[in-house]
Amino acid sequence: MAHVHLDQIRKVYPNGYVAVHGASLDINAGEFVVLVGPSGCGKSTTLRMIAGLEEISSGTLKIGDRVVNEVAPKDRNIAMVFQNYALYPHMNVYDNMAFGLKLSKVKKAEIDRRVREAAAILSIEPILDRKPKQLSGGQRQRVALGRAIVRDAEVFLFDEPLSNLDAKLRVQMRAEIGKLHRTLGKTMIYVTHDQVEAMTMGDRIVVLKDGYVQQMDTPLNLYHHPVNRFVASFIGSPSMNFVEGSIVRDSGLVFREQHGAFTVPLDATWRDTLTGHVGQAVTLGLRPEDFYAEASPARPTTTAAATFQIDVLEPMGSEVVVYASTPGQAAHQIVARLAPQTLPEPSQPITLALDTSKLHFFDAESEATLASAPMAVA
């Protein structure tokens, strides 16, 4: 187990493109940290610099207490699992797992012990004799994990390891990697573009955009206290709704949608943070689950009402996803997740209550968070 410390790590590719701008991250020993962000944000580059597969342009990388900027990948005490498992097709599962150890001249009895131990952890003992082409996608993924486990590394690095699997298997493997982390207790750094994977697997998540670290935090803190509009929109599905408007004073503090489609009275909890923004353009953020049908018994006491035109209803069984627009010419679409119930037909109006204790406000220009609702008490 080792901590991993990135201090102002920067990557400039030979063509001059800056893929990572001064990333500073403290990853604790034994922690499971997920790097997440849209394609091209610099996740793989960061991971590959930690692995030693990509040169670090500037900054300091420590694994444990050792600076490893100039240390060869094989001497960094890391194990890596890639998206394409790169199993040797002519070798059976046992030999695929043993190969790296044989190259490192580990004794035969020790190799056998480690391979069988890893096979037991992953429940792949019955397939040790099979060749990769005789395996399912999930089994191949387990063998790739096994190859990493036998190395007995301090730090495990994963680069989108589940993206070749179908949706159901991905969910299953997600849980298995989580279990593996608990069993081995090793430091794990995992790259994905999938925010659900990040939320379900990470002790902490690093959100990246355009080569810049946006926020590093626990899944729930990211969800409830995003530092900016990008993090707010990236985490959560369906995404947070954003409504442009301004803060005005009208017998009390009020958010007014820019075309006057609706207003949201703001109670005392918002006064301190938003009074200074009266007259300014702000963006209101509303999570889809913080809307309620007006007559819903589950409706919280702290609500404001707004009327929308229903565009599309998606009955999911456990909930109804409602796509609706503000009335008028400059229509603005919102997405709401409501408890299953009978709702008006599409193109009919619907009045929704929105929980005014769960609002988010962003600076319209810088997109930084001005205020986020306190985290809901479970």
Q: What is the nearest approach in angstroms of ligand ADP to the Cβ of residue 78?
A: 18
For the segment 3-42, give every residue that binds ligand ADP (CB under 6 A).
13, 15, 17, 19, 37, 39-42
Contacting residues for 274 by C-beta, under 8 A, at least 6 apart: 247, 253, 266, 282, 361, 370, 371
Question: Given the complex with ligand ADP, which of 124 and 188 has the nearer CB atom?
Answer: 188
Q: What is the nearest approach in angstroms of ligand ADP to the Cβ of residue 110?
A: 35
Quote the distance between the C-alpha of residue 108 and its chain's center: 41
Q: Can you spell out the DSSP letters for 186-231?
A: -EEEEEES-HHHHHHH-SEEEEEETTEEEEEE-HHHHHHS-SBHHH
Contact flag: residue 162 with ligand ADP (CB under 6 A): no
| Residue 294 near residue 351 (C-beta atoms within 8 A) | yes
Q: What is the nearest approach in angstroms of ligand ADP to the Cβ of residue 149?
A: 24
Strand, helix or coil for residue 107: coil
Question: Given the complex with ligand ADP, which of 15 and 329 has the nearer CB atom?
Answer: 15
Q: What is the nearest approach in angstroms of ligand ADP to the Cβ of residue 27?
A: 18
Q: What is the nearest approach in angstroms of ligand ADP to the Cβ of residue 211?
A: 7
Number of residues that bind ligand ADP (CB under 6 A): 12
| Dihedral (CA of 335, 341, 345, 350) sign | negative
Question: Given the complex with ligand ADP, which of 19 and 201 has the nearer CB atom?
Answer: 19
Question: Given the complex with ligand ADP, which of 37 and 146 has the nearer CB atom?
Answer: 37
Question: Given the complex with ligand ADP, which of 143 and 208 has the nearer CB atom?
Answer: 208
Q: What is the nearest approach in angstroms of ligand ADP to the Cβ of residue 14?
A: 7
Q: What is the nearest approach in angstroms of ligand ADP to the Cβ of residue 34?
A: 12
Report the phi/psi class of residue 272: left, alpha or beta, with left for phi > 0 and alpha for psi in -120 to 50: alpha
Please measure the distance between the N-terminal and C-terminal CA atoms of the chain and give it in whole angstroms. 33
Contact flag: residue 187 with ligand ADP (CB under 6 A): no
Contact flag: residue 192 with ligand ADP (CB under 6 A): no
Angle (CA) 241 244 245, round 5°: 130
Q: What is the nearest approach in angstroms of ligand ADP to the Cβ of residue 85?
A: 18
Interaction pattern, residues 45-84, with ligand ADP; x per rule: CB under 6 A:
x---------------------------------------
Contact flag: residue 44 with ligand ADP (CB under 6 A): yes
Strand, helix or coil for residue 85: coil
Question: Given the complex with ligand ADP, which of 27 and 208 has the nearer CB atom?
Answer: 208
Contact flag: residue 214 with ligand ADP (CB under 6 A): no
Instruction: Decide: residue 218, CB within 10 A, 0-12 exposed, 13-18 middle, 19+ buried.
Output: middle
| Residue 172 near residue 138 (C-beta atoms within 8 A) | yes
Can you tell me which of 2, 5, 36, 43 binds ligand ADP, judged by CB under 6 A? Answer: 43
Give the footprint of ligand ADP on this chain (CB under 6 A): 13, 15, 17, 19, 37, 39-45
